[in-house]
């Protein structure tokens, strides 16, 4: 385990405050140079287990440690950097987030605080590009800001560790935030920096953290203010009814919650109107031009665009509106497009949620109450809606990224003798099976699905390197093919009640040879009431399918009832887990 580096004091003649700042700068630089990402994460979040630690290490990399210093002017700051062997020519930009935090913490007018941010580069132990993030609040001699400097040096509020998110997809971001929360890290603010187009998420480290740093930052390039709003909401909730700074918040908080339906419909309307396809991420487009392109009423479109800008889906600039990284995901042409999800959540699922109270009173899904049949039967009668549903399932593909590396699949791929077969039960259009077979060229696959879905699956898989190694079987859960080596049930069991789950699992157990493995992909409800995506999806499943999310212990009981045993479970993205089961 690394020890915290000692302060290195300069020998040049400086004031006591300047000497203190140089020592803190020097210590921070030494710390950044020596850290290994995996080791540092394990010390920041000591509760991380091996698989989850590996998953977080794949998604994050240690980027910098931050320190707040208080030079009287910029020339002095440059000399202090040079005294610490840090590049003195690092460019400086305004620091939006820290400036606001200081103003709130010390009850000062934000205009009185000149806070700059510099990131002089250093190298990690393997030559990695890292930085010391230097926040500099200008405090001239005799300034009324001197008490702020003294308090901040003593308390080190802004000292923190930062990890860059490797692939800042909103779904991955939500999964990372949930992982930090599960390990006891509490939301502690954040913000969007317009000057560098980046979003920061701050946490207070858990009580048992093993570093001297009490704050942790996740940094995601791009504009992720929608995810940030959720994070800040958790921060406000943790601060208590009066808020962090003693100002009443319950009414504002409730209003924000009540208007969540407006957000869903604004995003769905954006997708329905094909606004993203009519816009450009880099070149602004005027409202009048957009209205002509999509056939909309200009003034009404302007109102929608202002709201979308508030959500961070578009950005309003001097040359017009342009897409943010969030907005691009509503473009049907974008890789990983989530347009189908927006249309589903703003369409049939949104309408069924209007009957949530009926579901709670009666136990009947709101979807069935509204449409008179379950969602699978309803979609099967509407080919266009069925296609949209299948596409919406593909939109959640980031959840699958770590799964092909699961030890069960790796072992099957490297087993000697005959090629091993992976059977994907109710695998939709083959997104997951295609990923598994592409990652493991020695494996073969069988996709079990309804006849109307298999046509799209054949087309999708034929376009991948896995197509020639995949067979297709039309049928239902009663038709699980025997003789496979690995069986997969991905996001299937949460659609059904316990009795139906037992029926599905018994069909799997009957088909599985003694050596076979079963991998189940589902979100797991936390047992301690911590915030989780699974809690939200539990409500969604109850209202729309009559299904539910479950704890690992609940799944273990269902498996035991069907002659199967839960071997273990490992985390994936977006709050999901892979549960591994075998026959008893």
pLDDT digits (tens, 9 = 90+) for 40-58: 999 999 988 777 888 888 8
Residues in the chain: 584
449/474 Cα distance (integer angstroms) = 5
Question: Do residues 59 and 164 make contact, with C-beta atoms less than 8 angstroms apart?
Answer: no
Residues 425 and 572 in one domain: yes
Q: Is residue 202 part of a domain?
A: yes
Q: What is the pLDDT of residue 508?
A: 97
Evaluate whether residue 381 is within a structural domain: no
Count the neighbouring beta carbons within 10 Å of the beta carbon of residue 193. 17
- Looking at the fold, whether 513 and 541 belong to one and the same domain comes out as yes
13 has pLDDT over 50: no
Strand locations in 251-344 (E):
314-317, 320-323
Whether residues 273 and 244 share a domain: the answer is no
Please spell the DSSP secondary structure of 75-142, one letter per residue: HHHHHHHHHTT--TT--EEE-HHHHHHHHHHTT--GGG--EEEE--EEE-TTS-EEEEEEEEE---TT
383 part of a folded domain: no
Q: Decide: helix, strand or coil at residue 187.
A: strand
Reading the block at residue 86, the tokens are 């840090």
For residue 5, being part of any structural domain is answered with no
CATH number of residue 441's parent domain: 3.40.50.150
pLDDT of residue 11: 36
Same domain, 111 and 157: yes
Number of CB atoms found within 10 A of residue 307's CB: 17
99 and 239 inside one domain: yes
User: Please, what is the average pLDDT of the chain?
Assistant: 87
Residues 152 and 272 in one domain: no
**Least confident range of 6-15, 267-276, 562-571:** 6-15
Active site residue 355: no
Least confident of 58-72, 316-330, 337-351, 500-514: 316-330
Domain count, the chain: 3
Q: Do residues 166 and 277 share a domain?
A: no
Angle 451-462/431-439 helices, nearest 10 degrees? Answer: 40
Distance from C-alpha of 90 to C-alpha of 121, rounded to nearest angstrom: 8
Mean pLDDT of 21-32: 93
Asked if 479 and 455 touch (Cβ cutoff 8 Å), the reply is no
Is residue 522 over pLDDT 90? Answer: yes
CATH number at residue 278: 1.10.10.10
Out of 197, 227, 252, a domain closes at 252
- Residue 366 belongs to some domain of the structure: no
Mean pLDDT of 467-489: 95
The reply to whether 114 falls in a domain is yes
Give yes or no: residues 332 and 462 share one domain: no
pLDDT score for 243: 37
User: Does 443 lie in the same domain as 332?
Assistant: no
Reported pTM? 0.60
Same-domain status, 275 and 153:
no
Of the candidate ranges 135-139, 314-318, 426-430, 488-492, the one whose mean pLDDT is the lowest:
314-318
**Candidate list 64, 160, 406, 494, residue with the active-site label:** 494
Integer Rg of the chain from CA? 27
Q: Decide if 373 is inside a domain.
A: no
Structure tokens at 170: 């909103």
Tell me, letter by letter, the H, E, C secondary structure of 142-206: CCCCHHHHHHHHHHCCCCEEEEEECCCCHHHHHHHHHHHHHCCCEEEEEEEECCCCEEEEEEECC
Are both 244 and 277 inside the same structural domain? no
pLDDT at res. 152: 92
Quote the CA–CA distance of 115 and 105 in Å, as a whole number: 14
Span 77-95, mean pLDDT?
Answer: 89
Range of the domain at 342: 259-346
Parallel, antiparallel or unpaired: strands 486-490 and 421-425: parallel
Least confident of 399-403, 405-409, 504-508: 399-403
- 247 located within any domain: yes
**Residues 160 and 282 occupy one common structural domain:** no
Are 346 and 337 spatial neighbours (Cβ–Cβ below 8 Å)? no
The residues, any chain, with a CB within 8 Å of residue 109's CB and separated by 6 or more, are: 103
End-of-domain residue from the set 346, 365, 388? 346
pLDDT tens for each residue of 334-359: 887 899 999 999 999 999 999 999 99
pLDDT at position 8: 37
DSSP 5: P
Most confident option among 169-173, 228-232, 309-313, 483-487: 483-487
Please identify, among 252, 270, 300, the residue that sits at the C-terminal boundary of a domain.
252
Element (H, E) at 470: strand 470-474
- Band (190; pLDDT cuts 50, 70, 90): confident
Query: Could you tell me which of 485, 504, 483 has the C-alpha nearest to residue 493?
Result: 504
């Amino acid at each position: 385990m690394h020890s915290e580096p000692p302060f290195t004091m300069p020998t040049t003649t400086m004031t006591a405050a300047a000497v203190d700042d140089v020592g803190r700068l020097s210590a921070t630089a030494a710390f950044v140079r020596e850290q290994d990402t995996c080791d540092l994460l394990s010390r920041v979040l000591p509760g991380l287990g091996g698989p989850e630690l590996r998953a977080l290490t794949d998604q994050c990399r240690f980027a910098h440690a931050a320190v707040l210093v208080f030079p009287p002017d910029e020339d002095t700051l440059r000399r202090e950097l040079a005294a610490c062997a840090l590049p003195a020519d690092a460019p400086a930009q305004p620091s939006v987030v820290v400036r606001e935090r200081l103003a709130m913490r010390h009850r000062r007018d934000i205009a009185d605080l000149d806070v700059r941010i510099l990131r002089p580069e250093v190298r990690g132990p393997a030559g990695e590009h890292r930085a010391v993030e230097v926040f500099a609040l200008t405090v001239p001699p005799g300034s009324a800001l001197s008490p702020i400097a003294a308090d901040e040096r003593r308390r080190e509020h802004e000292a923190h560790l930062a990890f860059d998110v490797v692939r800042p997809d909103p779904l991955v971001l939500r999964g990372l935030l949930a992982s930090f929360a599960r390990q006891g890290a509490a939301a502690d603010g954040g913000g969007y920096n317009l000057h560098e187009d980046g979003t920061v998420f701050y946490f207070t480290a858990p009580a048992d953290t093993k570093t001297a740093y009490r704050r942790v930052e996740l940094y995601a390039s791009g504009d992720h203010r929608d995810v940030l709003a959720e994070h800040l909401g958790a921060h406000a909730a943790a601060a208590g009814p009066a808020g962090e700074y003693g100002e009443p918040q319950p009414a504002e908080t409730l209003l924000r919650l009540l208007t969540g339906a407006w957000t869903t419909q604004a995003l769905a309307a954006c997708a329905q109107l094909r606004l993203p396809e009519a816009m450009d991420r880099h070149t602004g487009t005027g409202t009048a031009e957009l209205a002509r392109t999509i056939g909309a009423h200009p003034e009404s479109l302007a109102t929608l665009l202002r709201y979308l800008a508030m959500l961070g889906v578009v950005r309003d600039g001097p040359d017009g509106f342009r897409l943010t990284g969030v907005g691009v995901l509503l473009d049907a042409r974008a890789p990983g497009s989530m347009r189908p999800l927006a249309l589903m959540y703003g369409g049939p699922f949104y309408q069924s949620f209007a009957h949530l109270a009926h579901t709670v009173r009666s136990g009947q899904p709101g979807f069935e109450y509204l449409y008179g049949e379950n969602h699978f039967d309803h979609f099967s009668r509407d080919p266009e809606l069925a296609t949209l549903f299948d596409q919406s399932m593909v939109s959640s593909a980031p959840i699958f990224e770590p799964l092909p590396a699961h030890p069960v699949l790796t072992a099957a791929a490297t087993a000697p003798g005959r090629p091993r077969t992976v059977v994907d039960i109710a695998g939709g259009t083959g997104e997951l099976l295609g990923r598994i077979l592409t990652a493991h060229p020695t494996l073969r696959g069988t996709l079990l699905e309804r006849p109307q879905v298999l046509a799209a699956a054949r087309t999708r898989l034929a376009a991948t390197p896995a197509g020639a190694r995949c067979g297709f079987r039309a049928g239902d859960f009663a038709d699980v093919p025997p003789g496979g080596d690995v069986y997969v049930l991905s996001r299937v069991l949460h659609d059904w009640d316990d009795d139906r789950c037992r029926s599905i699992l018994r069909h799997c157990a009957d088909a599985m040879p003694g050596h076979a493995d079963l991998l189940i992909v589902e979100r797991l409800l936390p047992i301690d009431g911590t915030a989780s995506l699974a809690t939200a999806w539990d409500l969604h499943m109850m209202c729309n399918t009559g299904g539910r999310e479950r704890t690992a212990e609940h799944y273990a009981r269902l498996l035991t009832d069907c002659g199967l045993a839960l071997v273990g479970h490992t985390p994936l993205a977006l709050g999901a887990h892979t549960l591994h089961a075998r026959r008893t």
